[in-house]
Amino acid sequence: MSSTTSYLPREGRPTTQVPDTRPEDVSAALSRAAAAADAVAEVSPATRRAWLAAIADALEAEVEQLASLADRETGLGMERLRTEVVRAASQLRFYGDVAEEGSYLGLTIDTAPTRIVRMARPLGPVAIFGASNFPFAFGVLGNDTASALAAGCPVVVKAHPAHPVLSDRLVALAKTALAEAGAPRGTLEAVHGLRAGRALVESEQIGAVGFTGSQGGGLALWELANARPRVIPVYAEMGTVNPVVVTPSAAVSRLADVADGFAQSFSLGFGQFCTKPGLVFVPTGHEAVQRLAAAASRTATSAVLLTEGIAQAARSGVQALIAEGAEIVSQVPGPGRGWSADTTVLTAPITALHPTSRLREECFGPVAVIVEYHDADELRHALNALQGALVGSVITDGTDADPDAGRLVESLSDMVGRVTVDDWPTSVAWTWAQHHGGPWPSTTAPAATSVGASALARWVRPVAYQSIPDAWLPEGARESNPWRIPRRVDGKILHR
Amino acid sequence: MSSTTSYLPREGRPTTQVPDTRPEDVSAALSRAAAAADAVAEVSPATRRAWLAAIADALEAEVEQLASLADRETGLGMERLRTEVVRAASQLRFYGDVAEEGSYLGLTIDTAPTRIVRMARPLGPVAIFGASNFPFAFGVLGNDTASALAAGCPVVVKAHPAHPVLSDRLVALAKTALAEAGAPRGTLEAVHGLRAGRALVESEQIGAVGFTGSQGGGLALWELANARPRVIPVYAEMGTVNPVVVTPSAAVSRLADVADGFAQSFSLGFGQFCTKPGLVFVPTGHEAVQRLAAAASRTATSAVLLTEGIAQAARSGVQALIAEGAEIVSQVPGPGRGWSADTTVLTAPITALHPTSRLREECFGPVAVIVEYHDADELRHALNALQGALVGSVITDGTDADPDAGRLVESLSDMVGRVTVDDWPTSVAWTWAQHHGGPWPSTTAPAATSVGASALARWVRPVAYQSIPDAWLPEGARESNPWRIPRRVDGKILHR
């Protein structure tokens, strides 16, 4: 039987073998999830909030042990990983709060011409494929799992091969917490292995799929789901290159700040962020390329990546960029052992950004490309050649008077899901207004977000109940408003 | 050059040839729509409301002429068509009201930890493929077009070959009204012909697709869009068989009413409704099959269908049902000329409802199948074999005490987008709570609706604006709330 190998990335040395889930065990996990679906859907959102809080408590009780386990498998560093455990716990609580608030149910009541009560209904068990780069915040207990549980869907997670041991530990901890909090068996299940993952997407018992990772992985799942007899939604959030534009005015007034900001943002997690500023446009004539490159050299620490495959892809990505006309302007060598990578900043002529250029694609890892532009027309032309992305940033002179910023905000908002001004793109708050998604190919569904309150919307569909006596409606939709959720009645929003 | 032929369905006689739109004219229409996109997106929703009202006024000024033109091409009858013109006008006004109310923009503001303002943004020009069966309400100026314009998207419609002359007249009338109301050229464009329709879906200038019609047509467009380099959403609302369950208690207490209700609902528009009650489950032992069949015979009028193809498909559909074990229990012959169809009620053994049975698919036109069930288990098993559908209905004894109804409501809500009790499924109100959509294959997106306030959600995607000075935000997102739309601030819903 095949298995997943857990490695020590700093040494490139295998440790544990985690066996792939056998087909009969995948089926059993799916059956348990399906058997739990009605119960998970029918309890009040406040009850599910308590389940999520129980998982959060369990995470917070083991921050050090979990961070240590994660550091061993990912090499991301204890400090960052401790923070991430706390973040994951906070996210779980947040999605519970959002569920309890109840707006995600979209409860809407018409009293005329016909009585119609509309409320969202969970899609049933969902399959979640977590990311490699955030083992807690986007892993088996990350945003997708938390928002799906909050919305009333049992979750079957496919553990990421970059941290199989940690994934097992997290699932075990969450299962215990859920059971103690009274959630039914089958509320959370986990599988290992590529075949098991495919089996989830193909299962008639699965109602939707969530994925965070590469375009190759996300699109493969999307195609698999589209080939089912009953097609289901796949919400894939995929790696794209996120553009940053430094305005001429910023280059004049505060290039040193800008260079430091770039260096810090781009090197976070050794460049393994889906929000990494991968393509930075700077005006010509300020030695901006040299200044950003120098800051990157000063800031970068010796990089170890998550997996051998990611390290290889980063190396071959740099070669591909060079083949497209880019040249290296800064390189800080990795440790030279394990999944070592050189932190690399390149520059490329703006003319290289043609519609099929490799420069338009993400190079996952500590790699960024700086491109000089002469004027607004040239810049606009280059931006138009890019693909849809999760986030785009404008770095201004820091005043509301920057003459180019307004236009650039507008221009970027056509192609990304989040625009920031003078914030580097890497930080993604889990809040009510957040949108972490974007036009194809950054996601498979441009209106969907994998972070923030609206993340719950992916896991439900509305049902309109027409002329139905109160007692036969789902509990939350009844006249007495037992869950105390916001309602729209005859077009007017009512508070609880 | 190829063309579309307009026929007189009652005579089966061709009248007018409407030429297919030439490729260069399709490109020109797309370019005009693309050129209008920013202006259509940026005006206030109240402005677009006025544009929609102008089209509604124009429709209402020509009810008789339009109904007459439609009757000539569709044979649907003047009375029904007059009503439908008025309905289409009312829909246009409704979507304008929904836009002005502004909730569809989802304006959400976090002030901490980072200032994020999220607001929806139109997807740009959209392609709309209207239905044959509602030339006004779901035609070139129907729900899809009205909701897309309301949401800020220019619309390029593909005229349905069942009523090309009417479509041209409607588009001309709407273009004049839009121009007089101040909408930019390109706000509404139209094309004719299959190739032109494909070109719309493949165009880089199109941001989304709306479709109402058959599964074959909808899935073809969905596949075409999924094969684009930049995949775009396709919202296809497709024909499925809508189940109705008559409870044992209803069969005992009011079978005569039930039979009349069935006969009227099923024969509306000669059975050419996507909400037709196509599969009716009745308890054994009450002569329910015979009673429903007799009512259908009494009620049916001589049927003429929209096109020759639809009439042929209805005939071959009946043959296919018979091949699956169904037998005819009532048949009212069509006029025998033109696109004549026999109004046909069949019955089939419940065991014929296996997972690949033709009985699970829509037979468009005046055809329905009645199936007897012995008990709740047998019924549940049969319902589980059905496909997702737009609507399902429970016909009870008319009291809240019907012992089976609550469970059936729950069971149907798993597989449809709308559940009705003691309302036959054919009427679809355009209101705030409406949901006209459902699980695959009734739609390509189970959470999307093509009727009701939420129809606007299909044509926008959110953008999160992070740390962006007020002046650089889109107008509607600014601190002063110039459009006076509902906002959620730090998690709390505020009234305007």
Q: Is residue A482 part of a domain?
A: no
Catalytic residue, from A73, A274, A363, A372: name it: A274
Number of domains in chain B: 2
- Contact yes or no for B231 and A441 at CB 8 A: yes
**Pair A64, A201 in one domain:** yes
- Compute the nearest-CA separation of A1 from chain B (Å): 34
**Pair A233, A248 in one domain:** no
Q: Is residue B277 part of a domain?
A: yes
Distance CA A298, CA A281 (A): 21
Mutate to test the interface with A, among B415, B472, B484 (most CBs of A within 10 A): B472
Q: Is residue A223 part of a domain?
A: yes
Distance CA B452, CA A151 (A): 23
Q: Is residue B133 part of a domain?
A: yes
Domain CATH code at residue B327: 3.40.309.10
If you average pLDDT over residues B198-227, what whole number do you get?
Answer: 97
Strand partners, A129: A158, A211
- Compute the nearest-CA separation of A435 from chain B (Å): 5
Contact residues, B window 432-451, toward A, CB-based 8 Å cutoff: 432-437, 439-441, 444-447, 449
Q: Is residue B477 part of a domain?
A: no
**Pair A134, A75 in one domain:** yes
**Pair B232, B357 in one domain:** no
Give the per-residue pLDDT at B1.
67
* Structure-token match 């800020």, residue found: B152
**Pair A227, A248 in one domain:** no
- A455 vs B: CB within 8 A: no
Distance CA A257, CA B219 (A): 52
Above 60 in pLDDT, residue B303?
A: yes
Give the per-residue pLDDT at B483.
97
**Pair B133, B199 in one domain:** yes
Coil, helix or strand at residue B141:
coil
Give the per-residue pLDDT at A479.
96
Task: Give the residue ranges of chain A where pLDDT is below 50.
Answer: none
Catalytic residues of B: 237, 274
Above 80 in pLDDT, residue B495?
A: no
Residues of chain B with Cβ-Cβ distance to A419 below 8 Å are 463-466, 468
If you average pLDDT over residues B113-126, what whole number do you get?
Answer: 97
If you count DSSP H runs as helices and E runs as strands, how many of each does chain B have, helices first? 14, 21
Range of the domain at B379: 242-421
If you average pLDDT over residues B183-198, what whole number do you get?
Answer: 98
**Pair A182, A67 in one domain:** yes
**Pair A234, A274 in one domain:** no
Q: Is residue B487 part of a domain?
A: no
Distance CA A3, CA A196 (A): 11
Mutate to test the interface with B, among A432, A454, A496 (most CBs of B within 10 A): A432
Give the per-residue pLDDT at A495.
65
Q: Is residue A464 part of a domain?
A: no
- Contact yes or no for B419 and A454 at CB 8 A: no
Give the per-residue pLDDT at A355.
86
B116-129 burial, b if ≥16 CB within 10 A, otherwise e? bbbbbbbbbbbbbb
If you average pLDDT over residues B434-444, what whole number do you get?
Answer: 97
If you average pLDDT over residues B445-462, what whole number do you get?
Answer: 98
**DSSP category for residue A443:** B
If you average pLDDT over residues B130-154, what whole number do you get?
Answer: 97
Above 90 in pLDDT, residue B93?
A: yes
Under 8 Å between Cβ of A363 and A321: yes
Give the per-residue pLDDT at A1.
67
Give the per-residue pLDDT at A494.
87
Above 60 in pLDDT, residue B496?
A: no
**Pair B169, B289 in one domain:** no
| Residue A496, number of CB atoms within 10 A of its CB | 11
**Pair A256, A175 in one domain:** no
Coil, helix or strand at residue A283:
strand
If you average pLDDT over residues B430-450, what whole number do you get?
Answer: 97
Coil, helix or strand at residue B208:
strand
**Pair B110, B193 in one domain:** yes
Distance CA B166, CA B160 (A): 10
Contact residues, A window 90-149, toward B, CB-based 8 Å cutoff: 97, 101, 103, 106, 108-110, 113-114, 116-118, 120-121, 123
Give the per-residue pLDDT at B355.
86
Q: Is residue A389 part of a domain?
A: yes
Task: Give the closest of A118, A462, A495 to B493, CB-based.
Answer: A495
Give the per-residue pLDDT at B494.
87
- Compute the nearest-CA separation of B423 from chain A (Å): 7
**Pair A217, A339 in one domain:** no
ipTM above 0.90, yes or no: yes
pTM above 0.90, yes or no: yes
